[in-house]
Structure 1
Amino acid sequence: MASSSAPNLWVLFGLSLAGIMLMAKKFKKTIKPDFGAFIHKFELLPPPQPAPPKAPHPLTGLTFAVSDIFDINGYVTGFGCPDWERTHEAASQTSPVVSVLVDGGATCVGKTVVDEMSFGITGENRHYGTPTNPVADSRIPGGSCSGAAVAVAAKLVDFSLGVDTVGGVRQPAGHCGILGFRPSHGAVSHLGIIPVSTSFDTVGWFATDPSILRRVGQVLLQVPLAIQRNPRNIIIADDCFQLSKIPVDRLTQVVIRSTENLFGKQVLKHRNLGDYIALKVPSLKALDSNKSNGDVKFSSLRSLANIMQLLRRHEFSYNHFEWISSTKPALDPLISAQVHERLELSEKDVENFRSVKSELRSALNALLKDDGVLVIPTFSSPPPKVGSKELSSEDYLMSEFSLMGLASMSGCCQVTIPLGLYQNYPVSVSLIARHGGDLFLLDTLQTMHASLLKKADEAGKSKLSDDVVTKEASADIAKEKGNIAFKSKNWQKAIGFYTDAIKLNGNNAAYYNNRAAAYLELRSFIQAEADSTKAIDLDKKNVKAYLRRGTAREMLGYYKEAIEDFKYALVLEPTNKRAAETADRLTKYFP
């Protein structure tokens, strides 16, 4: 019996192993040779090189791709939507932007995937497939120009073209770990490009090499070359970095160390941008478009994001609603919900919103002048998983648009710069220069890029890197975020950050003590007493903890215990007037 059953066991084992291998093969993500970036492949060849002594074409030897929103002679511009492609004729001429690059010596090799009607921000397209993010294949590549970013990140081309309306170049550049440039609004021709939202649409480009990004810029911007200038002011928008879920030190410290190394500490400045905007953009305050938002800290940034979304939908409706209503295209539900219903703003609304845009441009131009750059995080969190529910959440969209809205609403130029990986996903920062400061920004990138990469690599290997960061350092970062929220009187948010700090390091009295202060502001006296007691257990000489516990106990009616706390605070700090006055008052009424 034993000998006859052994072969059967081996058969069963073999069948089980085969089943496991088949299931693994089934669930393994299939990555196409071109990473799913391309819709059409072709070649637009440059003209012959000029004879010496004339200089060769500036883009000689480079290849590029274009998003399927640019016209190419003989091809239907698909707009990311099969119904659009089916109902439109092939273009009769090539977009001038593409032509000038080909004439400049580059070879165009194809068209790439965009979100449906170039309206999304995820990079997902259920009709043509979602291009695979070469850096993190389970994560979104970002949109709307996902294919163009992926083609560069996968090294299929040297550079690519996209259109940035509300982040269509900047966000996928950040998600795919490459450079992405959004020039000043109006700096590059829009002819031969399907409009999405005219007052925001800007032709942008991707590359991995800053010198290529700059060479493409020189051809497209068509402005005279000037002497390269270094920035004299590098302003870090501290409040913008509070929107980021990535540790602040992992981003800002890289910029700070690079700046100090290249230009000296005197160049660095810090500013809360939301406060500056609230002060310098009176039209935004007058609109009071963010009454429902309880987060005072970021109300200006979020108000800009709200206005940007309304204007984008309004202008998109103006451009395409008749076709949408007559054709009724099959669109992704997230996009369909926004474009199938016409959004009409009153002339007064449009006028007010445009006043905000104009004032914001003036405010940023005044802040940055000719020699300043503003540093912000490119996005609020690492790229979410493809198809995740997070992509449709209001919190995710608002956080992304709050950062993207600065350049889109002001029309200023912005460049996305990758800074390596955080938890195996790409992270980046962005530099913004004044409207018209495009070459200056490209020059600044050229100067800082190598140093930024070096400092990012050092951060990735140092104790500040999230991969090896101590829990204590992470807890301190959370505490600092809590302190900023506390100063802004956002008590609940402060409690959240202090709680995060306590989870990371539960042996620090300051974290409990700070949370107790926030609980007192919310009149949550039981929680305040408990946190103060914990702080005292950890640090017997913490005067503030005795004062806060005494206050909580007084409000709870534990007067004798409160008196003891205030008297002990006086023992530790005899000159503390608050402790003395409160102890005397309570002793008088409750001897």
Structure 2
Amino acid sequence: MRVRIEGGAPAPEGLVEAVLAYEAALAADDLTALADAFERGPDAVRGDRNGLLAGHDRITGFRSRRGGAGTREVAELRVHLAGDDAAHVTTVNVPSGGGRGLVTQLWRRGDDGAWRIAAAHVTAPAPALDARVWRVAGTPLVAGASDGPLAGETVAVKDLFAIAGQRIGVGVRAFLAEAAVEEASAPAVQALLDAGADVVGLAQTDQFAYSIAGLNPDYGTPPNPAVPGAIPGGSSSGPAAAVALGQASIGLGSDTAGSIRVPASYMGLWGLRPTHGAVSLEGVWPLAPRYDTAGWLTRDGETMRRVAAVGLAGVDPVPVSGTLLAAPAVMMSCGAGVRYAFDAALGALAAAGTRVVPVEVPALDDLLAAFRVTQQAEAWRSDGAWVEAHPGVLAPDVQERFDLARDVTAEQEEHALADAGLLAARLDLELGDGVLLVPAAASAAPRLDASEAELEARRRATLSITAIAGLTGRPALSVPLLDTPDGPVGLCLVGPRGADLALVDAGLAIAAALRNPGETSLGHTV
């Protein structure tokens, strides 16, 4: 290792040793030592290609589910002194996997005599493929038609969809190893190709799509560029991250219990769960066919409108009445930041001349209970045999869900199905042909270091909201319109069955009204 102190002065006592100790802690994934290496308080910062983390808590929190940085050797270390107790340090490192990395840091000596990092920027070697986001990709993987309404667009396909010549991996390495090569692409994929879009590749999913967190022990957690240090949301985590990162313009995903709406909400994207049955699920690995849908993620509403028009071609469109609805009871499951942002949005809509009518919905606990039991029974029928034949393969939280699914009796499912039918009928009666406004998720994206208990609590709260569309088969559109102190949250529009395109138009109108107050009147456009 070459060490150079600019100006020829000696290195301050303990500085080089502190830098090398930090490198050793990275290699060992020593979370305690890494936490101690940064200055305490809200002013420390760390940036990389995934974004900026501000504050000691955020910096230490993102490491908990990341894993170690891997073995690397420091090839060069340069120090620019900035007084007696501060120095700008640049290191060039050589990862064991190849390439060159660059780290720049501002180190300061504290009152206790210890050197700690005040600011850091990490430039890692550019990966040929970010395995957290993509399982396989090309330039493109599959080229679309030479012309069409989606010409020039690029697609990240969730790893549940068949692509000719590829295998379906469902987010599980052991499953992928046994999977056969697909002979034909799923119709939902082919429709985008025929419209001129190129498929970049197959993007990651939570294991068997049985999660809304976005965590995957086999491939890692995709980054959330909207909230660095937070989870991306799942199970369409890979396509959502690819779109948010600008690596694709369209994400093709599935939504059973919120798997499009939640990552869209967490990452500030548009996400559409279409009317149940409106988009073919042929060639798509199932989780719970009673609730499974195929839909899309985009960065803007205009692209969503074009994608939906292609994906829903041949489906007779249904209009919406123009009545906007809100269910006050839904807000009880949401965090304070979401409630405040949602109320602010309703206030802005009122200022734009649009009335939002309150409605009553069934108790959220009842919605969640009926949905979960029926979903569990279907999930076990879909995947239970494989799960039982491969013990120890799945993440503990996903395995626990399958364990609960295995134990659902026929009698329990029968009662839950009856409850689900009654609840859906009541929702249909209350909502009619109006558009219900709800938060797409009960909170902004939880941090990577959130406890399992916190993740499960937020999961339950969010599923109690997403179950409204699930039980009724209605389309639901998440629009990135709610801002909270912890990150973006989607404003979700739930419309009548078949009103998917009208719902996107309503979303565009509401977005215009909220972003340009005083200039846009919704009138009857929704």
Aligned to 1:583: none
Map residues 180-259 of structure 1 onto 2, 5 A cutoff. Answer: 180-223=271-314, 231-247=321-337, 248-258=339-349
1:326 corresponds to 2:355: no
Aligned to 1:441: 503
Aligned to 1:547: none
C-alpha distance in structure 1 between counterparts of 2:225 and 2:217, whole Å: 19
> Residue type matched to 1:211 in 2?
E
Structure 1 residues 446-486: Cα deviation after superposition (integer angstroms, max 9, x where no partner): 22222233469xxxxxxxxxxxxxxxxxxxxxxxxxxxxxx
C-alpha distance in structure 1 between counterparts of 2:404 and 2:442, whole Å: 29
C-alpha distance in structure 1 between counterparts of 2:12 and 2:507, whole Å: 63
Structure 1 residues 46-90: Cα deviation after superposition (integer angstroms, max 9, x where no partner): 2233xxxxxxx1211111111101011111100000010112211
1:152 corresponds to 2:250: no
Q: Secondary structure at the match of 1:361?
A: helix
Map residues 312-461 of structure 1 onto 2, 5 A cutoff. Answer: 312-340=375-403, 343=406, 345-370=408-433, 372-390=434-452, 394-419=456-481, 421-454=483-516
Greater helix proportion: 1
C-alpha distance in structure 1 between counterparts of 2:454 and 2:334, whole Å: 18
Structure 1 residues 131-162: Cα deviation after superposition (integer angstroms, max 9, x where no partner): 00011121000011111111111121111111
Deviation of the 1:251 alpha carbon: 1.6
Q: Secondary structure at the match of 1:12?
A: coil
Aligned to 1:141: 232
Q: Which structure 1 segments of 5+ residues have no match?
A: 1-6, 50-56, 278-299, 457-591
Counterpart of 1:306 (choices 350, 357, 369) is 369
Deviation of the 1:224 alpha carbon: 6.0
> Residue type matched to 2:503 in 1?
L
- Contact 2:441/2:462 (CA < 8 Å) preserved in 1? yes
1:41 corresponds to 2:137: yes
Aligned to 2:58: none
State which drifts further: 252-261 or 11-20. Answer: 11-20
1:18 corresponds to 2:108: no
CA gap of 1:243–1:9, structure 2 versus 1, over 3 A, is same
C-alpha distance in structure 1 between counterparts of 2:378 and 2:221, whole Å: 26
Map residues 540-555 of structure 1 onto 2, 5 A cutoff. Answer: none
C-alpha distance in structure 1 between counterparts of 2:472 and 2:156, whole Å: 28
Larger Cα-atom Rg: 1
> Residue type matched to 1:351 in 2?
E
Whose RCO is larger (CA < 8 A, sep 6+)?
2
Q: Secondary structure at the match of 1:61?
A: coil
C-alpha distance in structure 1 between counterparts of 2:137 and 2:456, whole Å: 37
State which drifts further: 433-442 or 391-400. Answer: 391-400
Deviation of the 1:348 alpha carbon: 4.3
> Residue type matched to 2:329 in 1?
D
- Contact 2:231/2:448 (CA < 8 Å) preserved in 1? yes
- Contact 1:365/1:435 (CA < 8 Å) preserved in 2? no
CA gap of 1:374–1:420, structure 2 versus 1, over 3 A, is closer
Greater strand proportion: 2
Counterpart of 2:252 (choices 149, 161, 170) is 161
Q: Which structure 2 segments of 5+ residues have no match?
A: 1-7, 28-33, 35-45, 51-125, 519-526
Aligned to 1:582: none
C-alpha distance in structure 2 between counterparts of 1:165 and 1:416, whole Å: 15
Aligned to 1:73: 164
- Contact 1:255/1:452 (CA < 8 Å) preserved in 2? no
Deviation of the 1:396 alpha carbon: 2.6
C-alpha distance in structure 1 between counterparts of 2:323 and 2:198, whole Å: 38
Aligned to 2:118: none
C-alpha distance in structure 2 between counterparts of 1:17 and 1:149, whole Å: 39
C-alpha distance in structure 1 between counterparts of 2:246 and 2:175, whole Å: 30
Deviation of the 1:419 alpha carbon: 2.1
> Residue type matched to 2:387 in 1?
I
C-alpha distance in structure 2 between counterparts of 1:354 and 1:187, whole Å: 22
Q: How many residues get paired? A: 413
- Contact 1:361/1:435 (CA < 8 Å) preserved in 2? no
Counterpart of 1:99 (choices 181, 185, 190) is 190
Q: TM-score normalised to the size of structure 1?
A: 0.65
